[in-house]
Chains A and B, each alone.
Chain A
């Protein structure tokens, strides 16, 4: 404790000294050349605090939905009614959602996938999203 106090005291004196010196230097500079420095102008750089653009789960892992990939497609289907979840629930981008919908319709035509329920083999699959908490509110 005593040591720490000593250390702080030393540092404080040091900082004070340095501060005084710097202050003196700055005041001198200011008095000598008040207009020549343009260091306080805004710098032209890109926003360093900008967030990375949001990506949907399929684009992030670059997964192309295909009608034979039934296990993936069934994750976008309601287990109760077999209805394809909308974009406000799945959180996909427009293009991927269209691809998923087309692939599901194809798979259903080819009898690879049921239309009125989810395949029982895939019922326990991990959930990609929560239908109870949509990205945008339901319209009904």
Chain B
């Protein structure tokens, strides 16, 4: 099962109701055969702009993330279920990916254009497209094509 992260923005609610909303979302993940790895509260604060959701304008919200594992086929169901919940302003499910170990390529990118690999590829592709030119010193003493 791949790992996912659910980023929630909840409506401004008193604490007991907030707990019940989070419990509701967590239980819906568990009901679909998922595993919850981490619950993270990012606190409540003013939203960067007013958001209209479920017919109400919100100016404050509580940010919450749930890290969980579940089958990829269940993601659409979860999204649909969270979409119906009127206490949730925003819900996004992101796939958690391992950070890949790669070398910084800035050194090659800062080279002058003629030395950059991607530029060289572009030049080679452009040269391939060009029509072949007749070489006049090839031994023929006349031009073999129609002028």
- Measured CB to CB, the residues of A under 8 A from B are 53-56, 59-60, 64, 67-68, 91-96, 106, 108-116, 119, 135
- Interchain CB contact (< 8 A) of A114 among B7, B48, B107, B109: B48
Q: A93 touching B106 by the CB < 8 A rule? A: yes
B92 engages A110 (CB within 8 Å): yes
The distance in angstroms between the C-alpha atoms of A110 and B8, with both chains bound, is 7
Chain A residues whose C-beta falls within 8 Å of the C-beta of B51 in the assembled complex: 111
- Chain A residues contacting B110 (CB-CB under 8 Å) are 54, 135
Cβ contacts B101-128/A at 8 Å (1 or 0 each): 0111111011000000000000000000
Residues from 50 to 79 in B contacting A, C-beta threshold 8 Å = 51, 61, 63, 65
Assembly CA distance A119 to B94 (angstroms): 24
How far, in Å, is A73 (CB) from chain B's closest CB? 13
In the complex, which residues of chain A have a beta carbon less than 8 angstroms from the beta carbon of B90? 109-111
Which residues of chain A have C-beta atoms less than 8 A from B109's C-beta?
93-94
Task: List the B side residues contacting A53 at CB < 8 Å.
Answer: 104, 106-107
A residues less than 8 Å from B47 (CB atoms): 111
Contact of B7 (CB < 8 Å), options: A54, A92, A110: A110
Q: Let me know if B9 is at the binding interface, CB within 8 A.
A: yes
Query: In the docked arrangement, what's the CA distance between A119 and B28, Å?
Result: 34
Chain B residue with minimal CB distance to A70?
B42
Q: Give the chain B neighbours of A92 by CB distance below 8 A.
A: 106
29 contacts between A and B (CB under 8 A): A54-B104, A54-B106, A54-B110, A55-B107, A59-B103, A64-B99, A67-B94, A91-B106, A92-B106, A93-B104, A93-B105, A93-B106, A94-B105, A94-B109, A95-B102, A95-B105, A106-B7, A108-B48, A109-B90, A109-B92, A110-B7, A110-B63, A110-B92, A111-B9, A111-B47, A111-B61, A111-B89, A114-B48, A114-B49
With A93-B105, A106-B94 in contact, is A115–B48 under 8 Å at CB? Answer: yes
Residues of A within 8 A of B107 (CB): 53-55
| Distance of B27 from chain A, by nearest CB (Å) | 22
CB distance from A135 to the nearest CB of B (A): 8
